[in-house]
Amino acid sequence: MPTLVTEESLSQITNLKLIFGASGVKGKKLTTLSSEITVSDFIQSVIKTKPAENDSPFSVLDLRVVIDLMNKWAIKLPTVKPFYAVKCNPNISLVGTLASLGSNFDCASRVEIESVLSLGVSPDRIIYANPCKSELHIKYAASVGVNLTTFDSVGEVEKIKKWHPKCKLLLRIKTEEGIGARASLSVKYGAHHNEVPELLKAADVAGLRVTGVSFHIGSGGADAKAYHGAILSAKEVFETAARLGMPKMKILDIGGGFTSDSKFDEAALNVNDAIKTHFGNDEDLVVIGEPGRYFSETAFTLATKIIGKRVRGELREYWINDGIYGTLNNVLFDSAILTCSPLRFGSKPENVTCKDPKTYPSTVFGPTCDAIDTVLKEYLLPELEVNDWLVFPNMGAYTTSSGTNFNGFCSTAKDIYLACSSFVGQE
């Protein structure tokens, strides 16, 4: 597997050669931003140059953020190989950039596998991390050489034996999830402790190699202390397999759910400590993780246009051209807490950011007719008008990947502009 780009090697890259040449980026317009130009400045320039008939929402992907996060991962979790969870955001430029930086990939379907392979990624850099797969998708994985997958039932063993007997397996186990996770995954996946021996024996009898264990403590900021119990549980599965006379396990998959804020530092400390405590100096151990939101969330910024306004006393109500059924579905499905900043285009011709001292409690609606399509409530904003814009940061995780065309509105941001903020010391 490729070596991760480190800060030392990154400093030797000239004129962003690495990402300019990445599959999914090469041939596309990539705007490099000087230290004096912010992503907000870039968004304003995009709005000013958009044709009048094209007022759809759009996003900006800042590849500099992705590079910085890969460096941070390599420093904080040097022994953990990242397998980016494509479901979080399958944007081809993001995936291609991550591939060029050394990331591997967690795919959950044939379409995701096809997308990653289309970038020239070797199939041995993909884990088919879906414990319950259709037979057709298993046959496809076999045909393209994706030879590592997860399972948590005897039924899955039987399907894999029939359609992909060369595939190596990771047993997905159910562990105690961390408090504070945005989304729980244990309800749907994971073998109970008392089911482990039976599942290991079933795979062994079927002639399938169980090469490791996977788990997930919950998505999005779960209490990092949960890694200690989860990694201990994984170690016990390793020991159970050894007692059953099975080949030595080598892979520990610690799942995803990482955020890129200070909680990542805490997670890394707990992961490193738990691995050292429970696996010691096992030189054969390969540890992998499945970060999704860690790489994608803060790399994307969404720009939406105000298409309607209503005033009721002090309350201001605005309608924008994206919403809960579009890019902003993360409010419902990912428990995202949104922030936004306004840009004036309709209310002031000089196009400046809003710095008025007076603000009003404001409600922001999406474009559909469903009352659920409410993006913000009691949010303080200055007086705005139709054709002004609202800009939402941190809009890369479970956003465009989950959008719909409900009510006939194709409201999900379709245009993704590529930018790269300046590197430290770069002109």
The per-residue pLDDT for range 108-133, each reduced to its tens digit, is 999 999 999 999 999 999 999 999 99
Three-class SS of residue 344? coil
User: How many domains are there within the chain?
Assistant: 2
Residue 127's nearest CA partner among 272, 285, 253 is 253
22, part of any domain: no
| Structural domain harbouring 103 | 63-296
Question: Do residues 228 and 275 lie in contact, with contact meaning Cβ atoms separated by under 8 Å?
Answer: no
14, part of any domain: no
Q: Is 369 a catalytic residue?
A: yes
Which of 88, 167, 369, 410 is an active site residue?
369
DSSP one-letter code for 166? T
Kindly state whether residues 267 and 301 are assigned to the same domain.
no
Distance CA(183)–CA(219), nearest Å, equals: 5
Question: Do residues 210 and 169 lie in contact, with contact meaning Cβ atoms separated by under 8 Å?
Answer: yes
Tokens matching residue 2: 């490729």
- What is the domain-level CATH number for residue 311? 2.40.37.10
Kindly state whether residues 110 and 227 are assigned to the same domain.
yes
Three-class SS of residue 386? coil
Count CB-CB contacts under 10 A for residue 267.
Answer: 27
Q: Which of 272, 296, 320 is the last residue of a domain?
A: 296
Question: Do residues 69 and 260 lie in contact, with contact meaning Cβ atoms separated by under 8 Å?
Answer: yes
Q: What is the pTM of this model?
A: 0.91
Q: What is the pLDDT along the chain (427 residues), one digit of tens a residue?
A: 444 554 444 444 544 677 888 999 999 999 999 888 999 999 999 999 887 777 799 999 999 999 999 999 999 999 999 999 999 999 999 999 999 999 999 999 999 999 999 999 999 999 999 999 999 999 999 999 999 999 999 999 999 999 999 999 999 999 876 545 555 556 789 999 999 999 999 999 999 999 999 999 987 666 888 999 999 999 999 999 999 999 999 999 999 989 999 999 999 999 999 999 999 878 899 999 999 999 999 999 999 999 999 999 999 999 999 999 999 999 988 888 999 999 998 775 544 455 657 999 999 999 999 999 999 999 999 999 999 999 999 999 999 888 888 888 776 667 999 999 875 444 3
Kindly state whether residues 209 and 84 are assigned to the same domain.
yes
- What is the domain-level CATH number for residue 179? 3.20.20.10
Kindly state whether residues 206 and 289 are assigned to the same domain.
yes
Kindly state whether residues 376 and 248 are assigned to the same domain.
no
For residue 374, give the H/E element and its range: strand 374-381
* Spatial CB neighbours of 214, under 8 Å, sequence gap ≥ 6: 129, 150, 170, 171, 172, 173, 253, 254, 255
Cα→Cα distances 180→218, 220, 254, 290, 331, Å: 9, 8, 18, 19, 16
